């Protein structure tokens, strides 16, 4: 890669992070629904047009790298299914998310607290999870070993239950940061349904 291109890309990445931090502070101070792109641009000392070079919408500031969509989970689930039962494979797949980006967990908790204050954002977060579920179900279904139609149903139930466990644990941790570790919350949520593996029933 041309060195000048690498420098520009790093500079662009740094500005994107800085802009996201400014936007997050605005959301926390003013409320997400009350904050406009113009407000964010003004606070960052840029034009709205420049904002849109980095984010398609103000919602993208929160969702572009909000876990678990920031990780290639279908591939990770496939790897875990090679050696683990379905529910435990889902557990370990989603457990990998906070482990892999531990350094950003403070920002995660702030983002999720903002998401939980807005009906619009909660709906967007649900849509994100539904899209993620659609990518995981075809990976899990063939590993359940029963009639195809029932395996698809069971895979849907297991995947949605796993994502609910992750999301509930993540929200609980964000609201109680300092009292509980995120991995502890994830493990506790999944252990609630520790007998969910078809192989154990």
CATH number at residue 26: 1.10.10.60
Q: What domain range includes position 94?
A: 73-196
Are 106 and 178 in the same domain? yes
Are 93 and 175 in the same domain? yes
Are 101 and 179 in the same domain? yes
Lowest mean pLDDT, pick from 60-74, 90-104, 126-140, 170-184: 60-74
Are 135 and 85 in the same domain? yes
* Whole-Å CA distances, 151 to 57, 64, 130, 146, 193: 38, 32, 18, 6, 19
Per-residue pLDDT at 1 exceeds 50? no
In this structure, is residue 68 part of a structural domain? no
In this structure, is residue 8 part of a structural domain? yes
CATH code of 160's domain: 1.10.357.10
pLDDT tens track for 77-104 = 999 999 999 999 999 999 988 765 565 6
In this structure, is residue 201 part of a structural domain? no
Per-residue pLDDT at 180 exceeds 50? yes
- Average pLDDT, integer, range 141-156: 89
Are 28 and 120 in the same domain? no
Average pLDDT value over all residues in the chain: 84
- Average pLDDT, integer, range 129-145: 92
Look at the pTM and tell me if it is higher than 0.85. Answer: no
Instruction: Specify the pLDDT at position 178.
Output: 67
Are 12 and 90 in the same domain? no
């Amino acid at each position: 890669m041309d060195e000048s291109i690498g420098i520009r890309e790093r500079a662009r990445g740094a500005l994107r992070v800085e802009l996201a931090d400014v936007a997050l502070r605005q959301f926390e101070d003013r409320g997400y629904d009350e904050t406009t792109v113009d407000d964010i641009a003004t606070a960052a000392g840029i034009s709205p047009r420049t904002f849109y070079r980095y984010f398609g919408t103000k919602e993208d500031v929160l969702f572009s790298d909000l876990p678990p969509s920031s990780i290639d989970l279908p591939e990770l689930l496939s790897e875990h299914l090679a050696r683990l039962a379905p529910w435990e494979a889902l557990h370990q797949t989603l457990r990998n998310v906070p482990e892999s980006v531990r350094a950003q967990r403070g920002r995660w908790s702030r983002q999720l607290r903002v998401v939980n204050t807005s009906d619009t954002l909660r709906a967007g977060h649900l849509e994100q999870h539904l899209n993620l579920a659609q990518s995981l179900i075809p990976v899990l279904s063939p590993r359940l070993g029963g009639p195809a139609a029932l395996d698809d149903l069971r895979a849907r139930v297991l995947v949605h239950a796993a994502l609910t466990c992750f999301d509930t644990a993540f929200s609980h941790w964000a609201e109680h940061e300092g009292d509980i570790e995120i991995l502890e919350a994830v493990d506790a949520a999944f252990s609630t349904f520790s007998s969910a593996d078809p192989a154990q029933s």
